[in-house]
Amino acid sequence: MMRVVGGRVRIILVTVCLLCLTGAVVVSLVWDSEALVLFLEAAGAATATTALTRPSLPSRSGSASSSRKRWWDRWGWWSAASLLFLVAATAATVAVLVWLLGEANQASEATRAAVRIDAIRTSLGVAAGLGALVALGLALRRQWHTERHDTEQRVTELYVAAAEQLGSDKAPVRLAGLYALSRLGQDNPNHRQTIVDVICAYLRMPYHPPGTRTPRRSGAWAGRPPRPGLPTTGNPTSAGTDPHEERQVRLTAQRLLAHHLNPDGPAFWPDMDIDLSGATLIDLDMSGCRLRRADFTHATFTGTARFDKATFTGAAWFYEATFTGAAWFYEATFTGAAQFDEATFTGTAWFTEATFKDDAWFDEATFKDDAQFDEATFTGTARFDKATFKDDAWFYEATFTSTASFLGATFTGRGLFHGCRVVGLASHPVFDAWPPGWRVVPDPDHPGDGLLEEINDDPTPDPTASSPPAGHEAGKAS
């Protein structure tokens, strides 16, 4: 009799285990058809690769690994969690059943059979309750998935609508599109980089500020009448839009970018890349902003460009950029490479106390006004080869840690390098090329370092050589 009861108990335990494991697979997969398809694809590919290991089927192996990875990345964690939970539930049910059957064995002969039946019934009830909990969790998971899908679809619709507004010929509509994109990105962090890309793409569109003249025709085109339907004056790249209104739209786009790139602001978007290559920017103010990768190649900065205390965590490209007004990089930090090759600074270039933690390239750059690099720190290579300084170049107390090169640089004004430190003089390459009239001498206060010293053939000391001229500090503070 005991063998019969024991056999029945084992059958019941195996049945419960099979039901729970089957429920784990069915419940975690069948509830979503896409997951089921991916699972079957992965399972079929895996079966093929394990059963057919002949060398003639290498592509199948790649398909199997790709299918398994695709399925696991999207559904594997959820299916694994469900399976582990149900296995634990099965173990708990078996433990309860064994314990209840043990209690039933202590009952009298007359009631033992009924007690065992009640024990089995209770265990099955526990299993059913656990299964109901799993079903509830899966229902919540499906609801979350549906709501997420609806949210993504709604975000896509709003994004498309805002992008279409930017193409309107009416300035208020374009402004509304910009603010809609800003609000959309604020509420949906996953779409912020895309929205920044759209705003940057708008600013990269051709634009001539009001007051600029249309380029004249020359050569064989001179004297020819314009084609019918084309405007003869105004902005040739913005036909149908008022250039004054377009200016306001662009200023708004710049302000929104700066607003979201400022870590001290209430709506900061971290780790953003901006691409404003070839853009025409008006009085751009990125003071205090934090950018990852910034591309201003061929950009034109009309008016004042401000990057005071800005931080570039990635590379910063200003190759062939044109600054028509003052360029402020006071206390700016360049963590990655900073490239200003062939850039043109029409106004004063303020790099006072700027920090270049990687290479800084100013090859063939043109400084038409003062170039201020006082107390700047160059940790990587500092290159000013063939740069042109048409006014004074201030490098008071700048620090050079790696290679410095001014090969072919032209100083029309004064080159002022008093107090410049060369860190690690013994390890510096022999091809450091300092401006004409300057040399490196050991620093008596910092052994192993060097100082730049002006070469003066006149033995009479120059009283102005050790201190900046009057008014320089006031200019730096402004």
Which pLDDT does position 347 carry in this prediction? 97
- Residue 229 inside a domain? The answer is no
- Judge if 124 and 172 occupy the same domain: no
Element housing 114 (H / E): helix 112-166
- Residue 186 inside a domain? The answer is yes
Residue 40 binned pLDDT confidence (cut-offs 50, 70, 90) = very low
Beta-carbon contacts of residue 307 (< 8 Å; ≥ 6 apart): 286, 287, 289, 327, 328, 329, 332
- Judge if 336 and 463 occupy the same domain: yes
- Judge if 286 and 435 occupy the same domain: yes
In whole angstroms, what is the distance from residue 333 CA to residue 288 CA? Answer: 10
Given 250, 272, 294, which residue is the final one in a domain?
Answer: 272
Residue 7 binned pLDDT confidence (cut-offs 50, 70, 90) = very low
Residue 48 binned pLDDT confidence (cut-offs 50, 70, 90) = very low
- Judge if 186 and 293 occupy the same domain: no
- Judge if 179 and 189 occupy the same domain: yes
Element housing 410 (H / E): strand 410-411
120-129 core/surface letters (b: 16 or more CB in 10 A; e: else): beebbebbee
- Residue 213 inside a domain? The answer is no
Tokens found for residue 396: 């008071």
Between 181 and 473, the higher pLDDT residue = 181
Which pLDDT does position 145 carry in this prediction? 63
Half-sphere exposure of 251 (CA within 13 A, CB side): 13
345: helix, strand or coil: strand
- Judge if 187 and 122 occupy the same domain: no
The bridge status of strand 421-422 relative to strand 450-454 is antiparallel
Element housing 45 (H / E): helix 33-51
Which pLDDT does position 152 carry in this prediction? 67
Average pLDDT, integer, range 232-250: 68
Sign of CA dihedral 286, 288, 294, 295: positive
The 10s digit of each residue's pLDDT in 325-347 is 999 999 999 999 999 999 999 99
- Residue 407 inside a domain? The answer is yes
- Judge if 202 and 296 occupy the same domain: no
Residue 104 binned pLDDT confidence (cut-offs 50, 70, 90) = low
- Out of 117-126, 140-149, 210-219, pick the least confident: 210-219
25: helix, strand or coil: helix
Which domain range does residue 171 map to? 167-206+240-272
What's the total number of domains in the chain?
3
In whole angstroms, what is the distance from residue 205 CA to residue 237 CA? Answer: 9
- Judge if 265 and 399 occupy the same domain: no
- Judge if 184 and 119 occupy the same domain: no
Task: Give one DSSP letter per residue of 209-238, joined into a string.
Answer: -TTPPPPPP-GGGTTPPPPTTS-SSS-TTS
Beta-carbon contacts of residue 180 (< 8 Å; ≥ 6 apart): 158, 161, 162, 165
pTM for the predicted model, two decimal places: 0.66
- Residue 107 inside a domain? The answer is yes
Between 222 and 69, the higher pLDDT residue = 69
In whole angstroms, what is the distance from residue 470 CA to residue 424 CA? Answer: 32
Using a 10 angstrom Cβ sphere, with 0-12 exposed, 13-18 middle and 19 or more buried, the burial of residue 222 is exposed
Given 155, 190, 220, which residue is the final one in a domain?
Answer: 155
- Residue 322 inside a domain? The answer is yes
In whole angstroms, what is the distance from residue 450 CA to residue 452 CA? Answer: 7
Residue 60 has pLDDT above 50, yes or no: no
- Judge if 257 and 319 occupy the same domain: no
CB atoms within 10 A of CB 220: 7
- Judge if 110 and 244 occupy the same domain: no
- Residue 33 inside a domain? The answer is yes
- Residue 328 inside a domain? The answer is yes
- Judge if 289 and 181 occupy the same domain: no
Residue 8 binned pLDDT confidence (cut-offs 50, 70, 90) = low
Beta-carbon contacts of residue 285 (< 8 Å; ≥ 6 apart): 254, 255, 258, 304, 306
Which pLDDT does position 45 carry in this prediction? 42
Between 271 and 15, the higher pLDDT residue = 271
35-74 core/surface letters (b: 16 or more CB in 10 A; e: else): bbebbebbeebbeebeeeeeeeeeeeeebbeebbeebeee
Tell me how many degrees the CA angle 151-156-159 measures, rounded to the nearest 5: 125
Given 91, 122, 155, which residue is the final one in a domain?
Answer: 155
Which pLDDT does position 69 carry in this prediction? 54
Residue 224 has pLDDT above 50, yes or no: no
- Out of 21-35, 48-62, 234-248, pick the least confident: 48-62
Bridge partners for 369 per DSSP: none
The amino acid present at 245, given as its one-letter code, is E
Bridge partners for 389 per DSSP: 367, 411
Tokens found for residue 474: 């006031």
Bridge partners for 361 per DSSP: 339, 383
